[in-house]
Structure 1
Amino acid sequence: MSTTPVRSVTAQTFEAEVASAAVPVLVDFTATWCPPCRVLAPILHAIAAEGVGRLKVVEVNGDDEPGLAVRFGIRGFPTVIAFAGGKEVARHVGVTNRDKLLQMVRAHLPPGELRPHAATA
C-alpha cells in the first residue's frame, strides 16, 4: 500500500477515484518535466494528508494520459480541477497556495476542520 495520500489516476481509474468519490476531489494535472508542478506538489500532498476522509487529492500525468487532458481542456500544467459530486466546481491553472486550493472545495467539504500538516504550518 502506498504511503502517500495522493494517488495517481489513469483514464481507467478516473471514474472510480474522482467521479464516484463521496468527498470532494482535487485533481492535479501535472507533468514530470514541469518545474511549477514540482513547486505545487508538496502543497497538494500536505492538503491530502490534512484532508484524509474529508477531501481527496489525486494526480493525472498529462503526458501519460493525454485523453484525460483533452477531455478536461487542459492547456497548461499544473492545472488543478476541483470536483464535488462528480462535477467540476472550480479550476486553477498555475502555482498557487494552500488557502486558494482549499477555497476551491471549502463549500463542499463535510463539517469539521482540516488539520494543518506540520510541513505547512
Structure 2
Amino acid sequence: MSKPIEFTDDNFSDEVENSSEPVLVDFWAEWCGPCRMVGPIVEELVGEYEGKVKIGKVNVDHNSEVSVKYGIRSIPTLLIFKDGEVVDQIIGAVPKNQIKKHLDAQVA
C-alpha cells in the first residue's frame, strides 16, 4: 500500500505549490489525538486517489515555516491545493466520506 508523502519546509514548494495535480496536505503532530484518528484515513485515501491526487503530511513540530505560511492554528488541518493555491480546507477530525466529498469536488 502506498504511503503519504512527507512534505517538509524544504520540499513543500516543489511537491505542493508547483504540483500539476491537486494535493491534499495533512498538517499534524505526533502528540495530537485527533490527528491520530485522521492519519489512517489519509493513508487509505493515498491508494484510492492514486494518479488523481497527491497526498502527504506535514509534521507541524518539525516544519514551522510551512505551518506559519498557511496560518495553521489547530490540527489536524487538511488543505487541498490546486495549481499552487489553497482551494479548500478541513479543520478537525472528520469522517472519511466528508474528506472524500471535498477531494471529489476538486478532481471532478
Aligned-pair Cα RMSD in Å: 1.3
For these two proteins, the number of residue pairs brought into alignment is 108
SS in 1 for 2:98: helix
| Structure 1 segments (4+ residues) deviating >6 Å | none
Question: Which string of whole-angstrom CA distances, capped at 9 and with x for unpartnered residues, describes residues 3-44 of structure 1?
Answer: 643011111100111112121111000001111111000101
Matches within 5 A, 1:1-121: 4-109=2-107
Q: Which TM-score applies when normalising by structure 2?
A: 0.92
Q: Confirm or deny: 8 A CA contact 1:24 1:55 kept in the other structure.
A: yes
Q: Which has the higher helix share?
A: 2
Residue identity matched to 1:68: V
Partners in 1 of 2:16 and 2:63 — Cα distance?
15
Q: Confirm or deny: 8 A CA contact 1:89 1:104 kept in the other structure.
A: no
Q: Which TM-score applies when normalising by structure 1?
A: 0.83
The CA deviation at 1:107 is 2.8
Partners in 1 of 2:41 and 2:20 — Cα distance?
22
SS in 2 for 1:37: helix
Partners in 1 of 2:105 and 2:36 — Cα distance?
27
Larger Rg computed on CA atoms = 1
Partners in 1 of 2:106 and 2:91 — Cα distance?
20
Question: Which string of whole-angstrom CA distances, capped at 9 and with x for unpartnered residues, describes residues 24-82 of structure 1?
Answer: 11100000111111100010111111111101111000000111111110111100001
Partners in 1 of 2:70 and 2:103 — Cα distance?
18
Partners in 1 of 2:104 and 2:48 — Cα distance?
13
